[in-house]
């Protein structure tokens, strides 16, 4: 299992960064490795979201699909997410947004496991590397979206 952590400072207010991150349906518009995100269930207060994701894995010329549950805490500015079902064996993590006084730090921590039958440690290492790249790319994409406006 891989544990991936990444952080980025975004030149934008906490409220704007948090709102963009919470708008997961828009991710395919500005994240190249996200093919689609479909919200299938949302609590009345918007704190709990069940969504179906399709990611693009360019190296393997394929996609990866999963359904996740997100629990958003608007007071703490966090999102805890976990796998409901899909291609991953394990997928869970935490997004945390911190006000830095005019800018925002976006921290992402993900635990991921993707078991492929008959595949050795080399491919599992590649998957961990790819997940780190994806997390870094996602944080950078959110930063670009906020800072270009």
Contacts of 31 (CB under 8 A, 6+ apart): 137, 138, 141
Per the DSSP assignment, residues forming a β-bridge with 104 are 10, 99
pLDDT value at residue 32: 85
The answer to whether residue 124 scores a pLDDT higher than 90 is: no
Q: Which value, to the nearest 10 degrees, does the dihedral of the CA atoms of residues 53, 56, 62, 65 take? A: -10
Domain count, the chain: 1
Provide the residue count of the chain.
149
**pLDDT tens, residue by residue, 34-78:** 999 999 999 999 999 999 999 887 777 778 899 999 999 999 999
Identify the domain containing residue 35 by its residue range. Answer: 2-147
| pTM score | 0.87
What is the residue-averaged pLDDT of the chain? 89
């Amino acid at each position: 299992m891989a544990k991936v952590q990444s952080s980025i400072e975004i030149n934008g207010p906490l409220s704007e960064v948090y709102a963009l991150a919470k708008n997961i349906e828009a991710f395919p518009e500005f994240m190249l490795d996200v093919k689609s995100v479909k919200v299938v269930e949302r609590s009345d207060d918007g704190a709990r979201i069940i969504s179906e994701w399709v990611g693009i894995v360019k190296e393997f010329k394929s996609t990866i699909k999963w359904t996740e549950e997100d629990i958003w805490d608007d007071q703490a500015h966090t999102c805890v997410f976990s796998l409901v079902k899909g291609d991953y064996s394990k997928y869970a993590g935490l997004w945390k947004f911190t006000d830095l006084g005019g800018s925002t730090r976006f921290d992402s921590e993900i635990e991921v496991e993707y078991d492929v039958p008959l595949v050795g440690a080399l491919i599992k290492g590649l998957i961990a590397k790819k997940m780190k790249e994806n997390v870094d790319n996602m944080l950078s994409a959110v930063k670009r979206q906020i800072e270009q406006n």
